Structure 1
């Protein structure tokens, strides 16, 4: 399961990471966010060692959401080398997530 991080650890875990990091900006009350969780778990397992997946709860860590221009949940932002490499909003099935990541990192 993806690790939940907060604004204080965002720079270290995401911006300074050695490998790409997919950040799931979510809300506990968001139904599409809940539907996305199993897809992210599968993605995390399939891409173990090459991609980190972390979660930021926008209800508790609003500053991280604001700093990253998050306007809706779920928003998935892919970071590579400390910079945004791609972004998608809403529920995505595993295949769509993989295509998004592959396209953003190409």
Structure 2
């Protein structure tokens, strides 16, 4: 299951991750965020090269502002410390798989 990350460990967990790292920007009151959470857990479990970290925008506003997150859920896919893909709102499993494949190719 995805772990909660913060400003303190974002660089280590996301930007320095091996493989594809997904930053899941969410809020506790966001129903779509809760709906995609199991999909993200499945994604991380199915791929050895994928790490998912959850960023709560209520506690880490600086990160949300830095990455220009205007709504939740926002999923930002990183490879080698660089953003390679971004998804907003409710997404399907196929969209997540496609985004991981695209990010892995970068």
The reply to whether TM is greater than 0.5 is yes
| Distance in 2 separating the partners of 1:14 and 1:22 | 7
CA-based RMSD of the aligned residues comes to 1.0
- Confirm or deny: 8 A CA contact 1:32 1:90 kept in the other structure: yes
Structure 1: gaps spanning 5 or more residues = none
> Which structure 2 segments of 5+ residues have no match?
none
Q: TM-score of the superposition, structure 1-length normalised?
A: 0.93
Going from structure 1 to structure 2, the CA distance change for 1:40 and 1:14 (only over 3 Å counts) comes to same
User: In 2, are the aligned partners of 1:79 and 1:85 still within 8 Å (CA)?
Assistant: yes
Distance in 1 separating the partners of 2:18 and 2:100: 16
Is contact 2:19–2:80 with CA below 8 Å preserved after alignment?
A: yes
Looking at structure 2, the residues matched to 99 and 77 of structure 1 have their Cα atoms a distance apart, in angstroms, of 13
Instruction: Work out whether 1:51 is the aligned partner of 2:50.
Output: yes
Contact 1:20 1:52 in 2 (8 A): yes
Give the corresponding residue for 1:9: 9
The separation in 2 between residues aligned to 1:99 and 1:18, in whole angstroms, is 19
Deviations 1:25-53 (A, max 9, x none): 00000010010111111111111x21101
How many residues align structurally? 105
CA drift of 1:104 comes to 3.4
Q: Which residue of 2 aligns with 1:69?
A: 68
Q: CA deviation at 1:103?
A: 2.5
Distance 1:85 1:38 in 2: 23
**What do the CA deviations read for 1:45-81 (whole angstroms, capped 9, x no partner)?**
111x211011000011111111111111000000111
Would you identify which runs of 4 or more consecutive aligned residues in structure 1 move more than 4 Å? none
